[in-house]
Amino acid sequence: MTKISKLMSSEDDRINYLDHAATTPVRAEVLEKMLPYFTEKFGNPSSLYALAGEARYGLDEAREQVASVLSAHPGEIVFTGGGSESNNTAIKGVANARPQGSFGRGHIVTTAIEHHAVIHPVEQLEKLGYAATYVGVDEHGLVDPEEVAAAITGDTFLVSVMMVNNEVGTVQNISKISERVRDAAASAGGDVVIHTDAVQAAGKLSLDVNDLGVDLMSLSGHKIYGPKGVGVLFVRRGVELDPLIAGGGQERQRRSGTENVPSIVGMGEAMMLIEAERPTSRLRMQTLSNMLIEGISERIPDSKFNGHYIKRVPEIVNFSFSGVEGEPVLLGLDFKGVAASSGSACSSASLEPSHVLLAMGVSPDVAVGSVRISMGRETTVDDIDDVLMALPQVIKHLGSFPTF
Ligand SMILES: Cc1ncc(COP(=O)(O)O)c(C=O)c1O
């Protein structure tokens, strides 16, 4: 059982938290680093006196921390209000910064399995007259770099492909996609900005923006044991971007508003810590993940693993169970002290099948029976054993496999 249990009153009440792709608890070291910025170091970083200098120092340090993880320059790091804001700023900011006269014109290439924080802003731009192509995926949720390249036209100004899918954990070959997109753009005579939503990749994969060949990258604090409501947008030097939020000109004119210093300090610290743990956590997560996938497949005959067996992050495991809906499964698991999810948190309350699973060719009636289990740094073998006990009981109770 997880350390989150410390917050609960008795041992028996502890929750087995397996929804780390939805959010993570702020780790103690991060909270400790943040706390002085609420009280004694409360100054506005834009002011000139010494108190403000302390806040400014906190901001600068966080910017350097994030930049070092991304192999970027600190001036290329923009702090935002979260992953959704980073994605919106990337997409709308690039569209709005295009030369005068091109408003409402131009083409965006993205994929059918992006988070809604990418799909919805692209749809908003479509309503304004922009064209968009949503490249499909194979049955494992994998995007073919050649298909992305083939979608590029002379009008394409933006490509946005996520690094790790939040529902099934499939990892895209971003460096290959970037390489092929740049070749295709050069042949088509256009100039393309490449964005990746790396919200679910942080702490799991290398975020080196040069190896990945991207111009823009979105990150979020609360997926990496940092606070909610803070994010990062990496903006490669030279990329033209109009701010989504205009005002006092903070973040080098790219995101106005007095900086959320405590959260930014927390984001920087969380990035450093999770990156340092990455090599060791990978092996542990792989072991837990294999245990979970094998266990579910063996114990629940009608289960279907959703995702890619190799090109995936081990932390995210997604299964469909035919004949049941995700919501009652989650309620049943909750009753047994296991917190999991059905796809992404924002759509988990709806009975609509996941757009990601549909894009992977899963039939709607099977897709509504999907459950996402996402592990984190506090997850133990015992936690996996527990869910392997609880899940078959819940599915049996809901009538999926009567011979159990
Ligand atoms: C892939 C992906 N992108 C973007 C977001 C949005 O991030 P935030 O909650 O910080 O706005 C999420 C959160 O679920 C996500 O999983």
Q: Could you report the per-residue pLDDT of 78-108, keeping only the tens digit for each?
A: 999 999 999 999 999 999 999 988 888 999 9
- pLDDT score recorded for residue 349: 54
Name residues contacting ligand 1 (CB within 6 A): 82-84, 87, 115, 117, 162, 166, 197, 199-200, 220, 222, 231, 344
The residue whose CA is least distant from atom 4 of ligand 1 is: 83
Do residues 71 and 169 both lie within one domain? yes
> What is the CATH number for 374?
3.90.1150.10
Indicate whether 401 pLDDT > 60: no
Distance 220 CA to ligand 1 centre (A): 7
* Index of the ligand 1 atom closest to the CA of residue 346: 14
Rounded to whole angstroms, the maximal C-alpha distance in the chain is 73
Do residues 302 and 222 both lie within one domain? no
Asked whether residue 56 is domain-assigned, the answer is no
Q: Please give the positions annotated as active site.
A: 346
- pLDDT score recorded for residue 81: 98
Do residues 124 and 177 both lie within one domain? yes
Do residues 220 and 285 both lie within one domain? no
What residues make up the domain containing 283? 3-26+278-397
Do residues 114 and 203 both lie within one domain? yes
Do residues 10 and 134 both lie within one domain? no
Number of domains in the chain: 2
The residue whose CA is least distant from atom 16 of ligand 1 is: 166
Asked whether residue 21 is domain-assigned, the answer is yes
Indicate whether 9 pLDDT > 70: no
Asked whether residue 402 is domain-assigned, the answer is no
pTM over 0.85: yes
> What Cα–Cα distance (Å) separates residue 30 from each residue in 5, 46, 153, 267, 280?
19, 24, 45, 8, 20
Out of 259, 286, 308, pick the residue that ends a domain. 259
Do residues 205 and 99 both lie within one domain? yes
Q: Which band of pLDDT confidence, cut at 50, 70 and 90, is reported for residue 311? A: very high
Instruction: Outline where 160-315 has alpha helix (H).
Output: 174-188, 209-212, 261-299
Distance 20 CA to ligand 1 centre (A): 12
Do residues 97 and 217 both lie within one domain? yes
For the stretch 33-88, pLDDT in tens is 999 999 999 999 999 998 899 999 999 999 999 999 999 999 999 999 999 999 99
Beta-bridged to residue 398, according to DSSP, are none
